[in-house]
Structure 1
Amino acid sequence: MQLEIRPDPAEVGRARRWARSRLAGSGIQADEPLAETVILLVSELVTNAVVHTGRPAVLRLSLPHAVTEGATVRLEVADRSGRAPVPRCAEDDATGGRGLALVDGLADRWGWSVESTGKRIWCELDRCSKSSEVTAACGGGAVACGGGAAFEGLAYEAV
């Protein structure tokens, strides 16, 4: 399943609606923590593609055929920019700059790869008791910022 994304901020809302309908069609209810987390990740990755590339992108959502414990949901955003995603540390009053930290904190795995026409950023969520909780720890590690400071044990809540 995929959705073509135009380089327009309004596309973020359309991507969330599209992902919600695909999740519901797979038996993942909108109020489940897994669905809430997937929608937040869709928002972050699509926003990054729209804001930082100014080019069209493609959102892909791979859902398991049977929604069981241990099933994996994969989300990918492919864009036409070869620029690498760069995690940033936002100031306390900044309105942006936290997207990749959220992806790192919420996804069980994530990464990116160079494509012939740009890049692909992906993340995966496992449906299990650990990721079914509403909060998720920062990838079990720390997100390093600036002068070597690290933020350990941060939790993000999908609301």
Structure 2
Amino acid sequence: MQTPFDHAHLSTTIRLFRSERFEPDDPTALQGVRQLVKESCQAIKLDFDDPVLIACELATNALRHAGTPYRVTFVALWNRLPWIEVMDRSTDLPKPRLAGTYDTGGRGFELITELTASWHWDLNPVDRYKIVCATLKGDFDESGGQHVHTALPAGQLSAPPGPDRRRRTLPVAVPRSA
């Protein structure tokens, strides 16, 4: 586990920025993810329970489905909702689904949808990576707290085919069972 990179002191716009790379075969990786997000939330005086759960869900998805090294980034800008990004080296897109009553998995994105203001993904097929980003809920006026797109440089996104795939700030809704 590496030391988190924190360069918030470089800008009056950035309240907090921490990023850390994790290896898929490191058994302590999720513990490191929890620590990174917990300390980040404490630094900006934000309750850490939901953000830690969100980050662990996203990191677990990266472990389970990408199997590559992944990077967890916590970003808080002044007057914006904070967000968590998980980048991995897979171009397979997230596939939210409804879990059946007896399924042992498949509830992660339903949970993320419930606990966040919004979530989306960014795909860079040229450099072969994706970022799943979850914008945290906040107490201030959310109309001024939209997610600022920092995940990918402009012009590097390609829209994926299909009506059920979302990217950028489009919220992804998981249908509720009747």
Tell me which of 5, 12, 25 is aligned to 2:30: 12
AA matched with 1:151? S
The answer as to 2:154 corresponding to 1:128 is no
Asked whether the 8 Å contact 2:97–2:174 carries over to 1, the reply is: no
5+ residue gaps, structure 2: 1-17, 143-170
Asked whether the 8 Å contact 2:84–2:134 carries over to 1, the reply is: yes
Tell me which of 79, 87, 94 is aligned to 1:78: 87
Report the TM-score when normalising by structure 2.
0.65
5+ residue gaps, structure 1: 132-139, 145-149, 153-159
Deviation at 1:114, TM superposition (A): 0.7
CA distance in 2, matches of 1:37, 1:81: 26
Asked whether the 8 Å contact 2:74–2:83 carries over to 1, the reply is: yes
- Pairing of 1:9-158 with structure 2 (within 5 A): 10-28=28-46, 32=47, 35-65=48-78, 71-115=80-124, 116-128=127-139, 143-144=174-175, 150-151=176-177
* Structure 1 residues 94 and 3: alpha-carbon distance in aligned structure 2, compared to 1, 3 A threshold: same
Identity across the alignment (%): 27
Q: Which has the higher contact order (CA 8 A, sep 6+)?
A: 1
CA distance in 2, matches of 1:54, 1:141: 24
Q: Match of 1:63, SS?
A: strand
Deviation at 1:121, TM superposition (A): 0.5
